[in-house]
Structure 1
Amino acid sequence: MVSFGYFLVPNAADPLLDTARSAEELGLEWVGIQDHPYQRRYVDTFALMSAVLASTSTLRVFPDVACLPLRPPGVLAKTAASLDVLSGGRFELALGAGAFWDAIEGYGGERRTPGESLAALGEAIEVIRRLWSGERGLRFEGEHYHLRGVHSGPVPAHDLGIWLGAYGPRALHLTGRLADGWVPSLDADLLARLPELNDRVDAGAAEAGRDPSAVRRVFNVAGTITDGESNGFLAGPAAQWADELAALVVEHRADVLVFGGAPGDQLRRFATEVVPAVRAALPPSP
């Protein structure tokens, strides 16, 4: 039962809420919003997600993905739970360990090595889950984060997931072991490696005694829908898009497909031409 969404770039000069409402009106279920606090042209992602949730009634929203080095996990947990409560359970939390380290450090964040980033990500998941538990007197001592006698709350309105934007072998293993979803951005090169990457997530899940299907596959798919011939992966007519996206569902277990194309006509064509064709191409659900 694949679902579909739109990747909303938080450019302050764009009609962001109108675009989100258009995605909902066109029948899409999700909006994912990238998170780069140091980008001067962007509004804050969490402020925008709050406004999108308030401006829509069915759309589900997630950061694609939240910049953990600039957003402490205790505050992230509180914000995510609050958005979920206020929206009636329409929020999910996706995290990234960090990229663009010069920009992060310039904005006041701590520069981390790959090993430190991965360790901090694992600790953040633990902190966030504890702060969603509803329990009191929480304690946690990690190398990067801690909790010392704090009380959790509010409790999210639904079983709020933690999804990870991960690519490296150890990060993919961590995703399978601890996360509820995996959020890669696909291109032709990554598509060729997708079986291997999926296997690494599955191996992490199996090692933790989890069913690999418990980790949702949330794929960002960027490109251009045209009326002409194919120019490569996700660059061609709607029928090509439908075939390639259906293959992501059947062969690579995509649960959510998030379209990263221009708003306006491209968004409309994705929702009205590509999505129905993908659904028609898929085998019936058991």
Structure 2
Amino acid sequence: MHPLPLRPPAMLAQAAASLDILSHGRFELALGTGGYRDAIASMGAPRLTPGQAVDALEEGIAIIRAAWDTDAPGGIRHLGEHYRVEGAPRGPRPAHDMGIWLGAYQPRMLRMTGRLADGWLPSLPRYRSFAELGAGNAVIDEAAAEAGRSPAGIRRLLNLDREREPGQLAELALEHGVSGFILMARDVRAIERFAAETAPAVRELVAAGRSPAAAGSPATLERDSASLERDPASMERGPASSERDPAFEAQAASERAPASAGRSQMPAEPGKTPTSARAGGAPLAAVPTPDDGVRLSSVRIWDESTRPAGPSPDPNRRYTPREQAAGRHLIDVHDHLRAELARLRDLAGQVAAGTLDAGAARDHISTMTMRQNNWTLGAYCESYCRLVTMHHSAEDAMVFPHLRRVEPGLAPVLDRLREEHQAIHKVLERVDRALVAFVTDPSGLDELRAAVDLLTDTLLSHLSYEEHELVEPLARHGL
């Protein structure tokens, strides 16, 4: 966030465009009025009142945009109260359509953001509640509409002063329109944890929130479908609550992925059938993935024959599209885990066979969903273990308690699933131990492969059992 009074706008425009060119289109310009007036004045910049600083910022934005508009004839000409530019040359043009972000908090600055800026970048410590953040969004949206702009053309990011729970960040994305999060941290471990654990957890929660089961009206579904067609790596996403996609940034490390917003449906009361189910529907189309019975390891960590079954569903029950989506989402999440597990196994096999060298392995892993700065087999295994643990923790903390309340007959199944989560965690610890051995001694690859085989047996069996028991109840009761 650059205080504009410290540099003439035309000079700042040239510097920002040069950085964008050098970084191949990765630079964005965030501006502020310069709230620390004494410090700014001590460096020789003019001392402005808050009102004057806002006026000067508006002039500065006009000059910066004129400097970047190299197609316009002649030089830059601006004769304002705070800045005078007479014929300064335009350019250079930024490498991409670079945005101007404002760190606004007061009503006048918020309205300027809606009228002139490309994005809003406040900091959570400055707001005492999430509701205040939502109120700021409303001011920006109103000002944008009055200026003939689409509010969806203004992205909303949020600086985080510390690590936050995934549920809090998901609420900010779903309920208050935040499209990205930036963790302000000096601790490298916090940054890595934010990228490897918090970001995937928030994506999963937000994806569930935007699913048809939680989206609400047909108009909302239409907006959500449109946002899904966008490039998932794009940073040009707007603020409409149904279209914003959470991005995650932590200092120099960043990770972006598509997601959006919606509302969670209210669960049905125990023993009651939702009204929507009685209005019509179709048979359950979300089909659980069957267990093929193939086992790669001779080790067995549980007796599958002792698994309890939940209450038998009503064979005549019909489900609306909204109801079908909750079970479908569970299967989609599990399919992602299955696909990543298959990639992990394939990579380990190629390295063991000597058909994949280190450089090729790095290129292969760099295309995977779960990525780390250290492009090694070991880093990927570790990242995958975190993903599984995060998914199970989310189920234990949110999904299972809800189902236990609305359908007490599922309690034995939920107890068993929780026990299996704990058992799988121990298998993941074995993968970690084998990983350490492999990193320090390449001969430890056999032990790593044996551990991955056991993980494959237990995880695939568990996922199939969970889907078989929970897909239908999730359709009836929602998330």
Task: Please give the TM-score of this superposition, normalised by the length of structure 1.
Answer: 0.70
Query: Structure 1: how far apart are the matches of 2:133 and 2:81?
Result: 32
- Label 1:190 to 1:128 Cα distance change in 2 as closer, same or farther (>3 A): farther
1:200 aligns with 2:139: yes
Aligned counterpart for 2:158 among listed residues 211, 216, 219: 219
Comparing 118-127 with 253-262, greater Cα deviation is found at 253-262
RMSD: 1.3
Matching residue's letter, 1:128 = I
Name the structure with the higher strand share: 1
Partner of residue 167, structure 2: 243
| C-alpha displacement of 1:265 | 1.4
Partner of residue 209, structure 1: 148
Matching residue's letter, 2:54 = L
SS at match of 1:88: coil
Would you say the 8 A contact 1:127–1:146 is kept in 2? no
| C-alpha displacement of 1:128 | 0.1
Query: In the TM superposition, what whole-angstrom CA distance separates every residue of 1:107-149 from its partner, at most 9, and x where no partner exists?
Result: 1111111110010010000000000000322211111112211
Query: Structure 2: how far apart are the matches of 1:80 and 1:176?
Result: 22
Query: In the TM superposition, what whole-angstrom CA distance separates every residue of 1:30-69 from its partner, at most 9, and x where no partner exists?
Result: xxxxxxxxxxxxxxxxxxxxxxxxxxxxxxxxxxx10111
Partner of residue 58, structure 1: none
Which one has a bigger Cα radius of gyration? 2
SS at match of 1:262: coil
SS at match of 1:189: coil
Q: Write the mapping of 1:63-102 to structure 2, written as runs, cut at 5 A.
A: 65-102=1-38
Matching residue's letter, 1:140 = H
| C-alpha displacement of 1:190 | 4.5
Partner of residue 140, structure 1: 78
1:271 aligns with 2:195: yes
| C-alpha displacement of 1:160 | 0.6
SS at match of 2:25: coil
Partner of residue 88, structure 2: 150
Query: Structure 1: how far apart are the matches of 2:91 and 2:37?
Result: 32
Partner of residue 254, structure 1: 178
| C-alpha displacement of 1:207 | 1.1
| C-alpha displacement of 1:201 | 0.7
Query: Structure 2: how far apart are the matches of 1:189 and 1:274?
Result: 22
Task: Please give the TM-score of this superposition, normalised by the length of structure 2.
Answer: 0.42
SS at match of 2:128: helix
Consecutive unaligned residues of structure 1, counting only runs of 5 or more, are 1-64, 225-233, 235-240
Among all aligned residue pairs of Structure 1 and Structure 2, give the percentage whose two residues are the same amino acid.
Answer: 48
> Which contiguous aligned blocks of 4+ residues in structure 1 show a shift greater than 4 angstroms?
none
Matching residue's letter, 1:260 = M
| C-alpha displacement of 1:249 | 1.0
Query: Structure 2: how far apart are the matches of 1:190 and 1:201?
Result: 18
Query: Structure 2: how far apart are the matches of 1:260 and 1:157?
Result: 27
1:110 aligns with 2:46: yes
Query: Structure 2: how far apart are the matches of 1:278 and 1:68?
Result: 34
Query: Structure 2: how far apart are the matches of 1:214 and 1:190?
Result: 25
Query: Structure 1: how far apart are the matches of 2:175 and 2:115?
Result: 22
Query: Structure 1: how far apart are the matches of 2:83 and 2:46?
Result: 13
Matching residue's letter, 1:68 = L
Partner of residue 280, structure 1: 204
Query: Structure 2: how far apart are the matches of 1:256 and 1:192?
Result: 17
Would you say the 8 A contact 1:67–1:97 is kept in 2? yes
SS at match of 1:254: coil
Matching residue's letter, 2:68 = W
Greater relative contact order: 1 or 2 (C-alpha under 8 angstroms, separation 6 or more)? 1
SS at match of 2:144: helix
